[in-house]
Structure 1
Amino acid sequence: MTDAAADARLRQPENGAPGPASGSQAERGAELRAALVDQLRTEGKITSALVKAAFLTVRREHFLPEETPLETAYGFDSSVVTKRDEGGGALSSVSAAYIQARMLEQAGLSPGMSVLEIGSGGLNAALIAEIVGEQGHVVTVDIDPEVTDRATKLLDEAGYGSRVRVVAADAENGVPGRAEFNAIIVTVGAWDIAPAWLRQLAQNGTLVLPLVMNGVTRTVGLRRDGEHLTSTSIEVAGFVPMQGIGRHDERLFVLAGPDGKKITLRFDDGAPVTPAELDDVLASGPVENWSGVVFPPATSWADLYLWLAWYLPGFCRLVAEDSSALEKHGTWFPFGVVSGAGFAFFVTRTAPNGKGVEFGATAYGRDGELAAATLVEQIRAWDRDGRPVAGPSIGYWPTGSDLSKIPSDAAVMEKTHGVVTISWPPKG
Structure 2
Amino acid sequence: MSASAVHGPDALRADMVRALRDQDAITSEPVAAAFAAVPRHRFAPNAPLELAYDLHRTVPVKKDEHGLDISVMSAAHLQAVMLEQADIQPGMKVLEIGSGGYNAALIQELVGSDGSVTTADIDRDIVDRARLCLDAAGYGQVNTVLADGEAGVPGGAPYDRIMVTAAAWDIPPSWIGELAEKGRLVVPLTVRGTTRSIAFDRDDEGLISHSYRLARFVPMQGEGAAKERKALLRDGVAVQTDDVRVRLNAEALNHALDTPRLERWSDAAYDLPDELELYLTLQLSSPARLYASKDLVESGLVEASALLGVPVLVNENSIAYRTRRENGDTGGFESGVVAHGPQAEALADQYVDLLRHWAHNHRRRGAATIRYLPGSAPSPLSQSTVLKRHGVVAVSWH
> For residues 35-80 of structure 1, what are the alpha-carbon distances to aligned partners after superposition, in whole Å with 9 as ceiling and x for unaligned?
11112122222122211111001111111251x2222222221222
Matched to 1:323, the amino acid is L
**Alpha-carbon distance, 1:319 to partner:** 2.2
Residues 1:328 and 1:348: Cα distance change in structure 2 (over 3 Å) = farther
**Alpha-carbon distance, 1:105 to partner:** 1.3
Contact conserved, 2:264 with 2:337, CA < 8 A, in 1? yes
**Alpha-carbon distance, 1:175 to partner:** 1.1
Residues 1:318 and 1:390: Cα distance change in structure 2 (over 3 Å) = closer
Distance 1:314 1:87 in 2: 31
1:226-237 map, 5 Å: 226-237=204-215
Do residues 35 (structure 1) and 15 (structure 2) align?
yes
| TM-score, length basis structure 1 | 0.85
1:46-195 map, 5 Å: 46-66=26-46, 68-161=47-140, 163-195=141-173
Q: Match of 1:264?
A: 238
Contact conserved, 2:272 with 2:363, CA < 8 A, in 1? no
Matched to 2:362, the amino acid is G
> For residues 184-232 of structure 1, what are the alpha-carbon distances to aligned partners after superposition, in whole Å with 9 as ceiling and x for unaligned?
0000001111101111111111100001111111101011112321111
Do residues 241 (structure 1) and 213 (structure 2) align?
no
**Alpha-carbon distance, 1:354 to partner:** 8.5
**Alpha-carbon distance, 1:417 to partner:** 1.0
Do residues 394 (structure 1) and 370 (structure 2) align?
yes
Q: Match of 1:13?
A: none
Contact conserved, 1:227 with 1:397, CA < 8 A, in 2? yes
Give the secondary structure class of the aligned counterpart of 1:109.
coil
**Alpha-carbon distance, 1:353 to partner:** 4.5
Matched to 2:181, the amino acid is Q
Gaps of 5+ in 2: none
Q: Match of 1:16?
A: none
Distance 1:262 1:338 in 2: 18
Distance 2:256 2:94 in 1: 50
- Percent sequence identity is 41
Do residues 287 (structure 1) and 262 (structure 2) align?
yes
**Alpha-carbon distance, 1:120 to partner:** 0.6
Distance 1:200 1:133 in 2: 21
Contact conserved, 1:345 with 1:363, CA < 8 A, in 2? yes
| TM-score, length basis structure 2 | 0.91
**Alpha-carbon distance, 1:291 to partner:** 1.6
Higher helix content, 1 or 2: 2
Q: Which moved more, 1:193-202 or 1:167-176?
A: 167-176
**Alpha-carbon distance, 1:316 to partner:** 1.7
Contact conserved, 1:410 with 1:423, CA < 8 A, in 2? no
Q: 2:317 aligns with which of 334, 341, 360?
A: 341
Residues 1:329 and 1:282: Cα distance change in structure 2 (over 3 Å) = closer
**Alpha-carbon distance, 1:399 to partner:** 1.1
- Structure 1 vs Structure 2 CA RMSD: 2.5
Residues 1:341 and 1:330: Cα distance change in structure 2 (over 3 Å) = closer
Distance 2:5 2:237 in 1: 45
Matched to 2:134, the amino acid is L
Q: 1:300 aligns with which of 269, 272, 296?
A: 272
Matched to 1:78, the amino acid is R
**Alpha-carbon distance, 1:423 to partner:** 1.2
Distance 2:131 2:344 in 1: 53
Residues 1:360 and 1:69: Cα distance change in structure 2 (over 3 Å) = same
Contact conserved, 2:249 with 2:317, CA < 8 A, in 1? no
Distance 1:327 1:35 in 2: 40
Do residues 377 (structure 1) and 353 (structure 2) align?
yes
1:300-319 map, 5 Å: 300-319=272-291
Distance 1:271 1:176 in 2: 37
**Alpha-carbon distance, 1:373 to partner:** 2.6
1:212-231 map, 5 Å: 212-231=190-209
Contact conserved, 2:186 with 2:199, CA < 8 A, in 1? yes
> For residues 315-356 of structure 1, what are the alpha-carbon distances to aligned partners after superposition, in whole Å with 9 as ceiling and x for unaligned?
222222333356477643421221331122221111165951
Residues 1:274 and 1:190: Cα distance change in structure 2 (over 3 Å) = same
Distance 1:280 1:400 in 2: 39
Distance 1:326 1:254 in 2: 18
